[in-house]
A = this chain, B = another copy of it.
Amino acid sequence: MAVENQDLRKAGLKVTLPRVKILQILESSDVRHLSAEDVYRALLDAGEDVGLATVYRVLTQFETAGLVIRHNFDGGHSVFEVARGEHHDHMVCVESGKVIEFHNDEIEALQEQIAAEHGYELAGHSLVLYVNPLK
């Protein structure tokens, strides 16, 4: 039995075919950030007969379970990526749509500091850099 199944069980989710398949797609895709539609099409390409509604339901359950992270980059739709423990932020190339991940301890620390200066505790954050290739 594959590793994913343990993850699903641990999350209190029954190990069903759609859930396993979706998790596999998220984990095996070389593009790490996929929209619900992307996952749906990947399923169809793989010959799996799963409804789009199910994809949305499952992705939301995965998010709740902490298995995936949902991002709301510019432009309406959400994208999902498998959670791998270490936190990182994103850079999106406005020209190609390519998503690059990065992490910067200094920025992370400054955020904590700023929140504290205002009498708050940092609960989370969203940082997205929109960039263009240097000529």
Instruction: Name A126's contact: one of B102, B128, B131 (CB within 8 Å).
Output: B128
By secondary structure, the A interface counts as: strand
Interface size on A, residues (CB 8 A): 32
Q: Once the chains bind, are B119 and A133 in contact (CB under 8 Å)?
A: yes
Q: Once the chains bind, are A129 and B104 in contact (CB under 8 Å)?
A: no
Interface residues of A in 121-135 (CB under 8 A from B): 121-134
Q: Once the chains bind, are B110 and A134 in contact (CB under 8 Å)?
A: no
Does A86 interact with chain B (Cβ within 8 Å)?
no
Q: How far is the CB of A99 from chain B (nearest CB, A)?
A: 12
Query: Which residues of A does B touch, CB under 8 Å?
Result: 72, 74, 91, 93-94, 100, 102, 104, 106-107, 110-111, 114-116, 118-134
